Structure 1
Amino acid sequence: MSVSIQQNQFAVLDNGTRLHYASAGDVGKPLILFVHGFPEFWGEWSAQLPEFGQDHFAVAPDLRGFNLSDMPAELGAYKARHIVDDLRLLIQQLGYQKAVVVAHDWGGAVCWNMAIALPEMIEKLIIINSPHPYLFMQALLNDPAQRAASEYMNWLRQPGSEEALGKNDFALMDGFFNGMGQGEAHWFDADTRAAYHACWARGLSGGVNYYRASPLHPPTANHQGPQQLALNPDDFRVRVPTRVIWGENDKALPKSLLNGMEDFVPDLRITRIAEGSHWVIHEQPERINGLIRQYLSE
């Protein structure tokens, strides 16, 4: 039997950030941390928290800049190292030394970095449609199709993108879920739409600042993007057991981003969902839960 979700919980971290989180299950059971992406919030995991709260302490935070968590004004506050630090401190404040981490989209980008920098804090890493950072950098530099698929990132980086996203009752935001899926998103019903609109109404600048603060975007005449980076691939090895779920009908992050991942992640398993879009978590929640269960038992 599933357990209920507890909302409106807050942690004030040692770095001063105030994070909101929802949870299911009991403190003291193994910690499983669910980390959302853009343009989402903890509610992305509403089908996972009750399921995994049965035998874990399942926690889904709102990342800084999203929903009910702090939204710093400074652009530099959204660099990946600060988001990683938030998760590190949250795990510790919850009374744990490590966690199973499940992450999607921008949450995945952050948690790839966390696994690289702090492998001792991650028992297992489960990534859903979020590319390994080095492979993504290479694709942005060398793959014209990936550059074209990622052009939206440069639009989001522009001043005023948050105002454009909010126009006409968040019409463009709704289009992310419908347009990037397989037509009309069956899961984006009236209640779900209302919950997301309430989240977005609290502010969109934090979410788009993730794009503005990151060098990983297609190069432009005014910004070199990843061309300015001199990165050593050896610094991007992931030394924790990693499982990747990929909806292959992802318009922004095509399945080609999986190529070469095994070179960076020795303990890796990839599950491909041919018909799944970027929003496969919502489209097939029971299947996603089943795959997470399978990974936890390995």
Structure 2
Amino acid sequence: MVDHWTETVSLNGEDFFIRHWGDRDAPKILMLHGFPEYSGAWNDLAPLLAERFHCIAPDQRGYGQSWRPSEPEAYKTALLVSDMVALIGEAPLIVLGHDWGASVAYALTVGRPDLVSKLIIMNGVHPAPFQRELAKGGAQTDASQYIHFLRGEGSEDVLAKDDFEKLTSLFSANMDMSWLSGDTLAAYKSAWRDAAGLRGMVNWYRASPLQIGGVGEAIEGLSFDPARLQVQCPHLLVWGTADTALRPETTEGLEDYAPDLTRVAIDGVDHWLHHQKPNEVAKAILDWL
């Protein structure tokens, strides 16, 4: 039986809720969830990793039981990273990120390489290849049109209406959501709370510097310098091949930014791979580590 406990800690003067699995003295993995999840997103995967590691999963800023400022400017990437820097302390650890958690993980790894010994990304994207694909006006641009809706004022009210009907349909996006039911769905709704609770989550989109045009609309004049955004540590990318939210081309050329990259593809799963096939995901991670 894996030990599991929770705590509330102060990071940069604000309260953050943290879940833990495993032996306190084991090597640490910091697990960063995405949208619209919370630290409970790791309930399936973390116990499998916790046989060898101490898994640490915060509700990130704006999520779950952690601090939820209402203004979008409080969600700039540098501030999200500063929360994790405060949580980590001085000893480097392994960082694992999914979806928006991957964005924080990449920014942390690039900006504070002294704190990240290894980087694991699951269906998440490095900002440069992602922006490159968004700028093309192609398939990823079309797949990301929901970002315009989320950035609009009042989108959180629409998402929360009728017991989060719009949010759960957005969550699905032509993917397998059979895992989101019963007690799991109830726990997610509890974490979302209401429209005011959702505002912090949506503010991640509003604060993001990513540029995206309309359907089929390209953006000219963007340049990308791999030398500025290097992942210096060993990097594992675990990819669910049926993802419809993030297209596979968003990872093309990732080796230019992460020279020590290992790729593992998992068939039969999509964006929510850690819920759909946690055993396969855990094996990929543990074999690499």
Deviations 1:227-259 (A, max 9, x none): 686653320111010000111211110111121
C-alpha spacing 1:66/1:205, structure 2 compared with 1 (3 Å): same
State yes or no: 1:43 paired with 2:2: no
Report the residue type matching 1:253 in the other structure.
L
C-alpha spacing 1:245/1:85, structure 2 compared with 1 (3 Å): same
Aligned to 1:212: 206
Report the residue type matching 1:133 in the other structure.
P
SS of corresponding position for 2:30: strand
Query: Residues of 1 paired with 2:237 and 2:208: CA distance?
Result: 23
TM-score (norm 2): 0.93
Deviation at 1:52, TM superposition (A): 2.5
Please say if residues 33 and 101 of structure 2, whose CA atoms lie closer than 8 Å, have aligned partners that are also in contact. yes
Query: Residues of 1 paired with 2:126 and 2:237: CA distance?
Result: 10
Query: Residues of 1 paired with 2:218 and 2:114: CA distance?
Result: 31
List aligned pairs for 1:174-185, cutoff 5 A.
Answer: 174-182=168-176, 185=177
Query: Residues of 1 paired with 2:92 and 2:142: CA distance?
Result: 38
SS of corresponding position for 2:70: coil
State yes or no: 1:11 paired with 2:13: no
State yes or no: 1:158 paired with 2:156: no
State yes or no: 1:201 paired with 2:199: no
Aligned to 2:180: 188
State yes or no: 1:56 paired with 2:53: yes
Query: Residues of 2 paired with 1:57 and 1:173: CA distance?
Result: 32
State yes or no: 1:289 paired with 2:286: no
Report the residue type matching 2:184 in the other structure.
T
Deviations 1:154-201 (A, max 9, x none): 11000010000001111122223433414xx22112111100010111
C-alpha spacing 1:58/1:152, structure 2 compared with 1 (3 Å): same
State yes or no: 1:68 paired with 2:65: yes
Aligned to 2:96: 102
List aligned pairs for 1:112-127, cutoff 5 A.
Answer: 112-127=106-121
Query: Residues of 1 paired with 2:221 and 2:191: CA distance?
Result: 35
The count of residues paired between Structure 1 and Structure 2 equals: 286
Structure 1 spans left out of the alignment, 5+ residues = none
Aligned to 2:25: 28
Aligned to 1:253: 246
Report the residue type matching 2:252 in the other structure.
N
SS of corresponding position for 2:56: strand
State yes or no: 1:262 paired with 2:248: no
Report the residue type matching 2:75 in the other structure.
Y
Q: Quick check: 192-201 or 172-181, which moved more?
A: 172-181
Query: Residues of 2 paired with 1:154 and 1:28: CA distance?
Result: 44
Please say if residues 153 and 217 of structure 1, whose CA atoms lie closer than 8 Å, have aligned partners that are also in contact. no
TM-score (norm 1): 0.90
State yes or no: 1:86 paired with 2:104: no
C-alpha spacing 1:228/1:39, structure 2 compared with 1 (3 Å): farther
SS of corresponding position for 1:29: coil
Query: Residues of 1 paired with 2:5 and 2:246: CA distance?
Result: 32
Aligned to 1:278: 271
Report the residue type matching 2:166 in the other structure.
L
Q: Which has the higher contact order (CA 8 A, sep 6+)?
A: 2
List aligned pairs for 1:122-133, cutoff 5 A.
Answer: 122-133=116-127
Aligned to 1:240: 233
Q: What is the identity percentage for the equivalent residue pairs of Structure 1 and Structure 2?
A: 36
